[in-house]
Amino acid sequence: MIKENKIDNIFNLLRSQNKTAFIPFISIGDPDIETSLEIAKTLIDAGADIIELGFPFSDPMADGKVIQRSYERALKNRISMEDAFNFIKRLKAYRDIPVIFFTYYNPVFVMGSKFAEDAADAGVDGVLVVDLPPEESDEFNKYIRKKKIYQIFLLTPTTGIDRMRYVLSYAKGFVYYVSVAGVTGARKNLPDEICSNVKNIQGISAIPVGVGFGISSGEQAKAIKEYADAVIIGSKIIQFIESNINDKSKILEKIAEFSHGITSCL
């Protein structure tokens, strides 16, 4: 029998426990491969249910300053796709939680069918390609479908109901609701319409909904937990890397402390 995708399993489990998933995001290779692996392990130990790993790109046009700088640091380490997949293999050997691979399309496109093969081999469960909307996703999906990998799609505050239906018809695993119209980055205040938009999504589909972009505190996580299936946090975590760049143990300590704070709210 075909094995189900791990993303489905975790959401089924969490729903049965009435819990919300914590999905942290970090870039592979920031500040260096070994430290980023330690950070990922720390996040898992602190209760991450799924982990989202960014493949550093030269032109991250959907990202704010914090993730841009994170990619710049990682790019200095010349992270290749092979390095990224080795990273994921090592992480999965530590604990086999679902991995979402976050990338811009070009590094994946140039690999053709090989990306899906190598990603499956490394244990990738979902791929979020930020500049690959459903309209252009056929070729990519042909490759990843064979390997039981899901493409994770996004919905945003600018998405109307008709387009929501269209995007949801492609969605698998969970759908990522982008809480603000803008780039990634921690924000103190989030718009009020998140809840109503998530409810609109839930009115159309039973697929789990994760909320991300701008989330930076336990309080925000607690509010989102009331209606969403997952809370996704990236920039806020990466800020701990940036502000403690010369002290690895402090990076790990701060990230552990922050993540415990989040998971205790979920």
Closest CA to 251 of 54, 34, 23, 61: 34
Question: CA-CA distance, 104 to 90, in Å (whole number)?
Answer: 23
Least CB distance from residue 157 to other proteins, whole Å?
A: 8
Question: CA-CA distance, 102 to 27, in Å (whole number)?
Answer: 9
Q: Are the beta carbons of 1 and 40 closer than 8 angstroms?
A: no
Give the active site residue among 4, 30, 34, 52.
52
Is residue 235 within the footprint of other proteins (CB under 8 A)?
A: no
The span of 52-60, 195-203, 221-229, 248-256 binding other proteins (CB under 8 A) equals 52-60
Is residue 61 within the footprint of other proteins (CB under 8 A)?
A: yes
Is residue 155 within the footprint of other proteins (CB under 8 A)?
A: yes
- Cis amide bond preceding 157, omega within 30: no
Cα 240-25-244 angle, rounded to 5 deg: 15
Is residue 161 within the footprint of other proteins (CB under 8 A)?
A: no
DSSP state of 144: H
| Structure tokens that stand for 148 in this block | 């039981």
Contact string (CB under 8 A) for other proteins, positions 83-122, x = contact:
----------------------xxxxxxx-----------
Least CB distance from residue 104 to other proteins, whole Å?
A: 8
- List, by residue number, the catalytic residues: 52, 63
Which residue ranges make up the site for other proteins (CB under 8 A)?
57-64, 68, 75, 80-81, 105-111, 130-133, 135-136, 153-160, 163, 167, 178, 181-183
